[in-house]
Amino acid sequence: MDRVSLGGRAADAAGLLAGYGLDALLGDPRRFHPVAGFGTLAQRLERRVYRDDRRAGAAYTLIAVGAPAMLGVAAALATRGRPVSRFVVTAAATWTVLGGRTLRAEGRRMAGFLRGGDLPGARRRLNYLCGRDPAALDEAELARATVESVAENTSDAVVAPLWWGAVAGVPGLLAYRAANTLDAMVGHRSARYARFGTAAARLDDVLNLGPARLTALLTVASAPRVRGRRAEALRVWRRDRADHPSPNAGQCESAMAGALGVRLGGRNVYFGRSETRPYLGDGPRPDFRHIARAAKLSGTVGVASVALAAAVAFARPRRRAAVAR
């Protein structure tokens, strides 16, 4: 039993590291991405079960998240006592659910547009990062939107999947990605999804409570990597983290603002609605140089988070065994 436990936890830890490496090297699959396939199936399910009420949305969320979670459980059971297979499955699942390389590449692409003064190109590209209406955004607002998206998605696309992979293995990886994708699809405050999407939005909030705060702490710790000061990043994070309407995004964005020495927040225009948010941080509005620094900081946070995730995955069964004795 001890050898099986050791082999399983070593496979989990190594699989998380290998999956992170695959994402860093290759990025998202160009064709037949499993997350895109999940999105297509979720849309078909929505068409069958949609009603403008919260119960229907809760049932939809349960099915759409529960099915990938059960697939992960089946994979974990099938590879129990088979460390090589366990490693391969964990690495593949980790690569599938991470999006760090793509996030950083999109940030750098936006920085390139703004550096060259190509505002139309930057506006066309913004929707690869967030859902804001870019039509009237100037250079400063495009840069702000990009920095905020890099900050928030460092948690959503990197730290949170690794967190749940460390805590719950392959089932955690797949369930988290399903919940986060579902939130992006139906969790926003539109007329269609105001009630139907409530369960998906709340589940995503709960699953990101820990990862968002870990992302903020790692961002603060990594501030010197982009010529920031830890003390300033910590001060801004502690002061401004609760000012954002999201219980999680404000954690990441305030820490990023402090690390970069910029001011985030303000009026956000979406398609059909607008929101005015408190300012986060002190200093100037960001420009293309801050986007490049944000992408670099996101990469540093990702490396730290995968190291922590591998350590937790390796230690997790051992702690359970110690409690049992």
pTM of the shown model: 0.92
Band the pLDDT of 253: cuts 50, 70, 90.
Answer: very high
Band the pLDDT of 140: cuts 50, 70, 90.
Answer: very high
| Residue 265 parent element (H or E) | strand 264-270
- Both structure tokens of 9: 């936890």
pLDDT at 322: 37
pLDDT at residue 164 is higher than 80: yes
pLDDT in tens, 58-84: 999 999 999 999 999 999 999 999 999
pLDDT at residue 226 is higher than 80: yes
DSSP assigned state of 32: S
Mean pLDDT of 116-123: 94
Mean pLDDT of 31-55: 92
Instruction: Confirm if 157 and 129 have CB atoms less than 8 A apart.
Output: no
pLDDT at 181: 96
Band the pLDDT of 170: cuts 50, 70, 90.
Answer: very high
pLDDT at 288: 95
Give me the long-range contacts of 82-87 (CB less than 8 A, separation at least 24): 83/7, 83/8, 83/10, 83/11, 84/11, 86/7, 86/8, 86/11, 86/12, 86/15, 87/11, 87/14, 87/15, 87/18
- Both structure tokens of 194: 């105001």
Rounded Cα–Cα distance for residues 74 and 76 (Å): 5
Mean pLDDT of the chain: 92
Which one has a higher pLDDT value, 52 or 319?
52
Q: Which residues pair with 274 in a beta bridge?
A: 269
Mean pLDDT of 4-32: 87
pLDDT at 274: 77
pLDDT at 272: 65
Rounded Cα–Cα distance for residues 187 and 172 (Å): 20
- Both structure tokens of 21: 């490496």
Query: What percent of the chain is predicted at pLDDT more than 70?
Result: 95
